[in-house]
Amino acid sequence: MASHCVTRLCTVPNPSLRLFLFHSAGGSHLLFRGWQQAFPSDWELCPVEAPGRGRLAGRPPAIDADELAAFLVSELAPWLAAPFALFGHSFGGLVAYDLALRLAAAGLPRPAWVGIS
């Protein structure tokens, strides 16, 4: 699976859950760098980078959460074979919520859980 927006904190073969993590508008995936140790070892934590940040710095940033969620539907589709959940902080929470709605509308797998802080 190749997606420049997804970072695996630790690659887990056949994860029982893949947790996608969405950062705040002014942040980056680095917010989540120490989180893997706080979760079960069979979970795969996957911070998601937005266009205009990190490895996607060369891409124009999304202008709002709706545009970012639309971008992420196609970017994350190959990653949705394993059970998954979405967690977003601040603006990332809005993105996680919008993404969950878009996945359902597109007939793609739905998250087991959506968390917002």
- Which residues belong to the active site? 90
Tokens linked to 13: 């073969």
Q: Cα–Cα distance between 101 and 51 in angstroms, integer?
A: 20
> What value, to the nearest 5°, has the Cα angle with vertex 95 and ends 89 and 97?
95
Cα 79 to chain centroid, rounded: 10
Residue 66: other Cβ atoms inside 10 A: 13
